[in-house]
Amino acid sequence: MAEHSNINVGGLNFSWDLQKGKFIFEEQDAVLFWISSAMKSFFDTIEEISGDEASNLVFETTGFRQGLVVGEYFEQLKEVNVAEAAEMITNTYASAGWGRTVIKNLNFETKTLTAYIKDSWEHKINVAQGKSTGGNYLPAHYAGIFTGLFGVNIWYKVIHYQLEGHEHTVIEYFPSDITVANNIHELSRKKESEQIQQLEMVVKEKTKELQDLIKELSSPIIPVLEGIVVVPLLGKYDEERSEELVVRTLNNLPSYKANYLLLDLSGLDKDISNHTASLLEKIGSAASLIGTETILVGISPELSIMISQSTINFSKFDCFQTLQHGILFAMGQLGRKII
């Protein structure tokens, strides 16, 4: 082949300048790719990196926007109408290896039409990929073309794909509020929502782990001597934590054969509420039912004032300022002493 070659196919001009490495199609720089190998690899790579949902949107958006450029160009050619422009475009695409497209039922008033596409390059790529349904680059591309030609936003509905065993891919086009920009926004919002849900699940799992850990560490039962156990109360107690304390304490007291339960209040929040005071009374009353006496220890002067001001009667409890005094008292009640 000569360094400069020109041919005309179906009224369309093709030329090559080998010295400059240029291929010219209708006076525009163009490029040639093998469909079932190079282009397939291109599509495969996008899908692998982006995932099916995002890559479908990429192909759809790219197809529409490129079609819009074509449609707007032909719309500016005032000497041709929409039907003539559509025929010129489909003939041009056929000569460029895009397959054969026939436009039917074109109605300028309703701005509707039906496209029949056969053996397109997208179809060939999908076949090489082993897919069972067709892609959306070309359907969206023609939506972009007719958006430019009609001057209103056109969208599409695929009736069926050639890949599904039909002779043609058949696509209906019509005016619509659906836009590629909206689709991009919706996918972004969906991805954000999925990420938020994932984060919420992680937070929920970590919160449960923390709650379980708090349950394990909060108010442990400490056997200090035979028949004597200590339960330190730490921080504030809401309804859930209070219930957990009562259940854990009463379930474990029998296994320790505890005669005395010492509730150490030194770690309680200084602002003791009626709820906390009620909790102490509840534990003491329940423990007495299984034969265990409750002693309150670690009572500071501030805490004693708050207890005295509560509506709960604490006179039935033996109370001591320190844990040591409480243990010595319990030992004495059991007839023991430290030698």
pLDDT in tens, the chain (339 residues): 556 788 887 777 889 888 888 888 878 888 888 888 888 998 999 888 888 888 888 899 999 999 999 988 888 876 778 899 999 899 989 988 899 999 999 999 999 999 999 999 999 999 999 998 899 999 999 999 999 999 999 999 999 999 999 999 999 999 998 888 887 777 667 666 666 677 778 777 777 777 666 666 566 788 888 899 998 888 777 777 788 888 888 888 888 888 999 999 888 776 666 677 778 888 888 888 888 999 999 887 777 777 777 776 777 889 898 899 999 999 999 888 766
Domain with CATH 3.30.750.24 in the chain: 219-330
Q: Which fold has domain 36-178?
A: Muramoyl-pentapeptide Carboxypeptidase; domain 2 (3.30.1380)
Instruction: Name the pTM for this structure.
Output: 0.57
Burial 260-272 (b: 16+ CB within 10 A, else e): bbbbbbeebeeeb
Q: Which CATH class is domain 219-330?
A: alpha beta
- Per the listing, tokens 């805490």 go with 303
Domain with CATH 3.30.1380.20 in the chain: 36-178
Which stretches of the chain are assigned E, i.e. beta strand? 4-9, 12-17, 22-25, 28-30, 100-107, 112-118, 154-160, 169-175, 222-225, 228-235, 260-268, 293-297, 318-319
